Structures are given as structure tokens and as C-alpha cells.
Structure 1
Amino acid sequence: MTEVPKPPSFLKGYAKKKYNEIAAILVELGKWKAGDDIALIALCSQYQRWIEAEKLIKQNNDLCFTTDTGYRQQIPEIAIANNAMKSMLSFIKEFGLTPKERAKIGEAVRENSDDIDPELEDMIVR
């Protein structure tokens, strides 16, 4: 059986957990290939960026701010969250984690529904 490389130290706990969950599923299914760790690290770093940006958006009382010239502009965290989500969705499709692809690799992604991150799972299901 293939051994999964450890996730990098810059990933936070929840992103490392997601890395280990997805990698374990891919290894178990025999789908893990050399270089998958790079793509999975990219997916999990985008996941981390998305979560952090969404937390900051929630903390902000206004989705816009006023510039020095009086122009109302969207807070940067919205663009960060949107870009991270788009990038994540690309990687999710590459790993076969969309509902369409999930049918091909089996229901292994849902086997441990208690361990599934509801935010990521909700995004995958869409």
C-alpha cells in the first residue's frame, strides 16, 4: 500500500485533517499517484484560504468600505474567498470528488459522514 506524504506545516489543523481524509480515501481506492500530494496540498491550502476569508467576512459588519475618495468598494476578503472557492472546485473535480465523479469512485467519501466537514461537503454536493 502506498504511504501518503505528510501535509506541509503551513496548513492549519482543519486543512491538514482534510488533506489526510482525502489522501486516505485515494490510497484506499488505489487512486493515489505520485504528484497527487502537490495537487492535494494546493486544494487544501485553497480550502484553508477560503475558510479564513469567510471568517473575516463574517466578522466584518459591512461587505464594503469607503475609500479615501468616497468610493464604496467591496472588502478584499470577498475576492479572496471567491477565488479560493473557484480554485478549490477545480481541484475537487480533478480528484473526482464531485457527485458525478463520486459515482465512479464509490461512496467512500461519504462512509464516515461524522468526519465530513459540512461546509466543504455542502460545496461539493452543489
Structure 2
Amino acid sequence: MDIQTKAPSFLKAEAKKRFDEISKMLIDDNKWKSGDEIALAALCASYQHWIEAEKAIKKNGDLCFTTETGYRQQIPEISIANNAMKNMLSFIKEFALTPRERSKLKELILKEDEDSDTEMEEMIQK
């Protein structure tokens, strides 16, 4: 079965590139399931927001601004960057895109294989 995926049009170039790379990797590993494109689009949108917010923080040069009443307040881009990072990390774990998550996934698969062999052996013995 040939699975075709296309990055959503609302993503910018860098996020589309990530979408294409990750979807290809998941398809090549036979780990792509129907509906994954939604979660992957959300991951890549969060990535895009994080990149944009980090660029705005760098451009601003100051992490705070002074309000009309004289209070110092954190620039909104910091919250945007932090929320985008949290969202990315949760999706990254869902797709097992970190070395730790991949090793946990491998252990789970090996354990399932061992369990299925044990069940088969028990059935044969009965």
C-alpha cells in the first residue's frame, strides 16, 4: 500500500520540511497510521510557532517591557515559545521521536513478541 501524505498548506517552509521528513520516516518504518497526519500537523504547527516566537524574542532584545502604568512585564513571545515547546514535546513523545522513547517502544515490542510466543507455546502444550 502506497501512502501519500502532504503537509498542510498553513505550514511555512521549515515546518513543511519537518512534516515531510517525519511522515516519510514513519511510513518507511511502517508506523504511519490513519489520523497521524493530524497529530503530525499539530506537531509541525507548534514547531513553527516556537521558531517564530524565538525569532521575535531575539529581535526584541529584551525579555520584558514596561507597561503604561510602569510595571515590567514579560513579552508575550516568551509564553508563546514555552507553550509551543510543551506541545512539541508531547507530540514528539507520541511519535517516539526521541532516543529514549524509541528504546521504550523497542522494549515494548520485544516484550509483546515474547508474550505472544509464550501464549502460543501454552496453546500447543494443551
Q: What's the CA shift string for 1:101-121, capped at 9, x where partnerless?
A: 223668xxxxxxxxxxxxxxx
C-alpha separation between the residues in 2 aligned to 1:69 and 1:38? 43
C-alpha separation between the residues in 2 aligned to 1:86 and 1:71? 28
Q: Give TM-score, length-normalised by structure 2.
A: 0.80
The question of 1:73 aligning with 2:67 is answered no
Residues 81-96 of structure 1 mapped to structure 2, 5 A cutoff = 81-96=81-96
Residues 45-124 of structure 1 mapped to structure 2, 5 A cutoff = 45-103=45-103
CA RMSD across the alignment: 1.4
Structure number with bigger Rg = 2
Partner AA of 1:72 in structure 2 = R
The question of 1:24 aligning with 2:24 is answered yes
C-alpha separation between the residues in 2 aligned to 1:2 and 1:71? 58
Runs of 4+ aligned structure 1 residues displaced above 6 Å come to none
**1:61 to partner: Cα distance:** 1.7
Q: Give TM-score, length-normalised by structure 1.
A: 0.80
Where structure 2 has 5 or more consecutive residues not aligned to the other structure, the ranges are 107-126
Contact residue 4 and residue 27 of structure 1 kept, 8 A: no
Give SS of 2:3's match: coil
In structure 2, do the counterparts of structure 1 residues 37 and 104 end up closer, same or farther at CA, with 3 Å as the change threshold? same
Give SS of 1:65's match: strand
Q: What's the CA shift string for 1:79-126, capped at 9, x where partnerless?
A: 0000000000000000001221223668xxxxxxxxxxxxxxxxxxxx
Higher percent of residues as helix: 2
Partner of 1:109: none
Count of aligned positions: 106
Q: Percent identity?
A: 68
C-alpha separation between the residues in 2 aligned to 1:89 and 1:44? 11
Contact residue 2 and residue 32 of structure 1 kept, 8 A: no
Where structure 1 has 5 or more consecutive residues not aligned to the other structure, the ranges are 107-126
